[in-house]
Structure 1
């Protein structure tokens, strides 16, 4: 099989499945991984696909920043289901951290007040959802406002987190990549998210299935630092990766 025939077959596989792996292509085409990687690089340079960790995809894996109003309309039903499940993990007398994002807002809407619940959050929209409940103690982090996510970020918020340690962090992400880890579109917010992870015993990622095999500008942490993932669908390779890393996951 010559170069053109290989390229055509690779593109057909991407169109049919949405994603291809280097290992599968090596077996199917009977060539080395070096050859396949060169083929994928050529096709990416031609604008025909996007390379990912261990393979390639037909959709752009690099997430760009969008307004909170735009993001709130995407996969709304899925985010609500994810939020409903996550809310069941809250226990009486719990102290939790809730990060920013539209999935976190849907999560906040599903929280049933528990005895002695304390919530620390950087998200203004989360605070506005929880302030309706008199029994929930809310600590709003302070600092500059990132308008696109309706959230606080920066050094003031990071320093304040150093005074707390909570049982759980619930965090939304813009990308989950097997090799690069969990990411968000803003570097400063990534730093704050990292500080949140240091201030929590358990990190729980709430992410719809569109976030897998994607990466954004700001790296939050390696995937191995995550304790649990809640999603509507988790690709098999990520289920296997979670099993290998000891990460709990729930598909809802």
Structure 2
């Protein structure tokens, strides 16, 4: 069927599509598009997501930080470099775990003095040689897959601090489900980080949108800004902006 060919061609280019977007392109109803997507999913040609379709399974399994470092490297570095520009003189920031926020630490240049609180061991190793950066490494059990800490010790420290910004990496961003990660304890730690920060900046490449994972962190109302790459779909960008989230796209 011609409609199916157009859907698959566009999906191969954009990786994720919204039902509303396909309605406009094909000039058919949402009911028709959903039937098309259901049929194509049954044939194993795509995955249906909330309000759309994706080439990738929207449910994420845990992968090691070593594996994730090899994915979308150029995009992650661009996002990280732009995010570093959000740090101001004498700032105090929280950096969570994940390969994109880990990349952020490579681009941080302290303006006078900077305080960094982080759960990531790799972030500490990147920043430790800069004497203008005061580092508070959260303590607790170390997750081998992410080289970051989790648990009550880290959560206790966060009860007694306040930072201007949290730079947060996630495994999934879903318009209804919100932000999510593959580990329940990490999600709990992220929730404590949210409470300790005045502003939440999510760093995520295009592949994280339309995805959800086992452990929910929060809904999108907690997010102030998302920094991503140019492959994010226009439909998702608009829906995020409709939720009053600033979406910054790296060229």
Say yes or no: TM over 0.5: yes
Q: Which has the higher contact order (CA 8 A, sep 6+)?
A: 2
Q: What per-residue deviation string (whole Å, max 9, x for no partner) do you get for residues 188-245 of structure 1?
A: 1111111111110000011111111222111111122110011112321122123212
CA 31–167 in structure 1, closer or farther in 2 if over 3 Å, else same: closer
Residue of structure 2 in register with 1:162 after alignment: 159
Cα distance between partner residues in 2 of 1:127 and 1:87: 16
Aligned length: 244
In 1, are the aligned partners of 2:94 and 2:197 still within 8 Å (CA)? yes
Cα distance between partner residues in 1 of 2:153 and 2:144: 17
Cα distance between partner residues in 1 of 2:4 and 2:28: 17
> 1:143 deviation in Å?
0.7
> 1:25 deviation in Å?
5.2
Secondary structure, in 3 states, of the residue corresponding to 1:192? helix
Matching residue within 217, 228, 231 for 1:231? 228
Superposition RMSD on alpha carbons, in Å? 2.0
Secondary structure, in 3 states, of the residue corresponding to 1:229? strand
Cα distance between partner residues in 2 of 1:15 and 1:192: 39
Residue 120 (1) aligns with residue 117 (2): yes
Secondary structure, in 3 states, of the residue corresponding to 1:176? strand
Residue 132 (1) aligns with residue 124 (2): no
Matching residue within 142, 167, 177 for 1:180? 177
Residue of structure 2 in register with 1:3 after alignment: none
Cα distance between partner residues in 1 of 2:48 and 2:152: 35
Cα distance between partner residues in 2 of 1:208 and 1:90: 20
Q: What per-residue deviation string (whole Å, max 9, x for no partner) do you get for residues 147-168 of structure 1?
A: 1110001122112111111100
CA 123–249 in structure 1, closer or farther in 2 if over 3 Å, else same: same
Residue of structure 1 in register with 2:212 after alignment: 215
In 2, are the aligned partners of 1:14 and 1:57 still within 8 Å (CA)? no
Cα distance between partner residues in 1 of 2:219 and 2:122: 27
In 2, are the aligned partners of 1:14 and 1:58 still within 8 Å (CA)? no
Larger radius of gyration: 1
> 1:13 deviation in Å?
3.4
Matching residue within 178, 181, 189 for 1:192? 189
Residue of structure 2 in register with 1:240 after alignment: 238
Unaligned runs of 5+ residues in structure 1 are: 1-7
Unaligned runs of 5+ residues in structure 2 are: none
Residue of structure 2 in register with 1:12 after alignment: 5
Cα distance between partner residues in 2 of 1:123 and 1:140: 8
Residue of structure 2 in register with 1:110 after alignment: 107
Residue of structure 2 in register with 1:151 after alignment: 148
Cα distance between partner residues in 2 of 1:30 and 1:235: 20
Cα distance between partner residues in 1 of 2:88 and 2:33: 50
> 1:39 deviation in Å?
5.0
Residue 73 (1) aligns with residue 70 (2): yes
Cα distance between partner residues in 1 of 2:83 and 2:21: 35
